[in-house]
Amino acid sequence: MGLLDSIRGDIKAARQRDPAATSDLEVVLTYPGFHARQIHRLAHSLHGRGMRVPARVVSHLGRAFTGIEIHPGARIGEGFFIDHGMGVVIGETAIIKDNVHLFQGVTLGGTSTRRAKRHPTLDRNVVVGAGAKVIGDVTIGENAKIGAGSVVVTNVPPHATVVGVPGHIVAFADPGDDTVLRLPDPEWDIIKSLESRIAELESRIAELGSGKTQKKTAVSVDGEDEIT
């Protein structure tokens, strides 16, 4: 795909995924995610030619302009869209395939200081919610969804929905008919059980404090008073 066609694809992705986008011109002039993507194109090209310092300078200027930090070494596919964008960080060895959608505050980070693959790979059609952190050399499968605020440190299979800290799978989308299969959530079940038990104990404590239990009475046993 040529450069102009690729840029048109970025504009189309913004129009399709953001109902607030009313025209191509609006996307080109006012969308920081679109700007960050185009700046990364230049930085990545310089990086690929071994011009590491100029690439980092371009990336740094892009960060100052958009609030989005994309390392020049990151590989990004077609139809990439960052919604709102502020605070997004994408590491050096991250791989983002086609039609990926990121929201504000997303981090694709690393856990190692080795010069090796240490950032995530996002397969096609992945959606990562606001504030989510995907850390390490993990793979997020095709059509997977990461919930807002989640922290993902393990691989995610295709079509899964992941939420929580640490992230765990709560649903699978059926690629055949778009239905969603909800999975049992043992952690949530335990929390609900504990809440129910606490409510029961609080009720019993309230009864004890209100005098609903048997009142103490004085009786005489062999001429001596005894409290019962």
Q: How far apart are CA 140 and CA 159, in angstroms?
A: 9
Please tell me the total count of domains within the chain: 2
CATH number of the domain bearing residue 168: 2.160.10.10
Does this model's pTM top 0.95? My answer is: no
Please give the C-alpha separations between residue 209 and each of 175, 198, 203, 212, 215, in angstroms, as whole numbers: 57, 16, 10, 8, 12
Q: Phi first, then psi: what are they for 107, rounded to 5°?
A: -120, 125
Q: In this predicted model, what pLDDT tens digit does every residue of 181-207 receive, in sequence order? A: 666 666 777 888 898 899 989 888 888
Q: In this predicted model, what pLDDT tens digit does every residue of 48-76 receive, in sequence order? A: 999 999 999 999 999 999 999 999 999 99
Question: Do 159 and 198 belong to one domain?
Answer: no
Question: Do 79 and 190 belong to one domain?
Answer: no
Q: In this predicted model, what pLDDT tens digit does every residue of 95-152 receive, in sequence order? A: 999 999 999 999 999 987 788 899 999 999 999 999 999 999 999 999 999 999 999 9
Question: Do 144 and 72 belong to one domain?
Answer: yes
Residue 20 or 174, more confident? 20
Question: Do 169 and 207 belong to one domain?
Answer: no
* pLDDT at residue number 211: 65
Q: What is the dihedral of CA 70, 95, 28, 36, to 10 degrees?
A: 0
* pLDDT at residue number 169: 86
Question: Do 41 and 142 belong to one domain?
Answer: yes
Question: CB of 34 within 8 A of CB of 14?
Answer: yes
**Model confidence band, residue 214 (pLDDT cutoffs 50, 70, 90):** low
Question: Do 11 and 112 belong to one domain?
Answer: yes
Could you list the residue range(s) of the whole structural domain that residue 215 is in? Answer: 186-227
Question: Do 37 and 66 belong to one domain?
Answer: yes
Q: Is the dihedral of CA 117, 118, 119, 125 positive or negative?
A: positive
Question: Do 166 and 215 belong to one domain?
Answer: no
Question: Do 37 and 99 belong to one domain?
Answer: yes
Question: Do 164 and 201 belong to one domain?
Answer: no
Question: Do 135 and 165 belong to one domain?
Answer: yes
Question: Do 9 and 58 belong to one domain?
Answer: yes
